[in-house]
Amino acid sequence: MDNLVIGAKGQLGTELRKLLDEKNIAYVATDSKELDITDEEAVRNFFNSNKPNVIYHCAAFTAVDTAEEEPGKSTNWKVNVEGTKNVAEAAESIGATLVFVSTDYVFDGNNTEMYLEEDQPNPRNEYGRSKFEAEKIVSKVMTKYYIIRTSWVFGKFGNNFVFTMLRLAQQRKSLTVVDDQIGRPTWTRTLADFMLYAIENKIPFGLYQLSNDGQCSWFEFAKEILKNTDTKVIPVNSEEYPQKAYRPKHSVMNLSKAKSTGFVIDDWHVALEKLLKSLN
């Protein structure tokens, strides 16, 4: 087996499968029912039997607020940390390459400049802590790996901010959206493209940050999503919209390392427009 997609039915996994199909690249796809990554023996047996060369690890627990409810022992930790450890150890044992997706939430958001790959993470919520722990495991266990930090993911498949805004706009005449959290939106297609680009072009192994170019607040993102609707978008600060999990105020990641590989990155406005056109 050349390629294995874990978490194949999620928002990113589905996009990645679509891209692999378009490129006529053979792969095997699994979800949690077919391969429970929290089961160490099951993962080891699956990898030993199938011997994938490249593993795209798209499985993750991403319910950020739910992750706050059971710190350290939740499904969040079992999937994101223990599951990733199982995958990394099994992948290393057969000499495979692992492509692992992480998050901007490994940063506390206190930096007013763009975060570099080498900046010290300081996660402030349980989801961010689990993903940072997984990053450390992958970099320690694996010889051949790509850790790709991303942010504000949206796409055609699964639940995300774009679909939430479009749905709410059909129900309400106005929406309030926070304007004091700044980041970079990421189209799943852009992320999937880079994951394959890394493998196909044999770029140096290691940690990369990848999103669409440009930056915005959630309010600005929402305004762009709904610019062709009659729904009014009203800015509010985070204190007016309390959530269980801390959100970084400024999690803009520097993309220079990914760009230095020759990978071309669309601005988020362009990526959003491409997605919205694909929905029509």
Active-site residues, by number, are 127
Please, are residues 123 and 106 in contact by the beta-carbon 8 Å criterion?
A: yes
Sequence-ordered list of residues with C-beta below 8 angstroms from that of 192, at least 6 positions apart, any chain = 12, 15, 16, 18, 19
Sequence-ordered list of residues with C-beta below 8 angstroms from that of 184, at least 6 positions apart, any chain = 104, 151, 152, 211, 212, 213, 214, 215, 216, 252, 253, 255, 268
Sequence-ordered list of residues with C-beta below 8 angstroms from that of 243, at least 6 positions apart, any chain = 65
In 3D, which of 116, 111, 125 has the Cα closest to residue 250? 111
Which string of b and e fits 153-169 if b means at least 16 CB within 10 Å? bbbbbbebbbbebeeeb
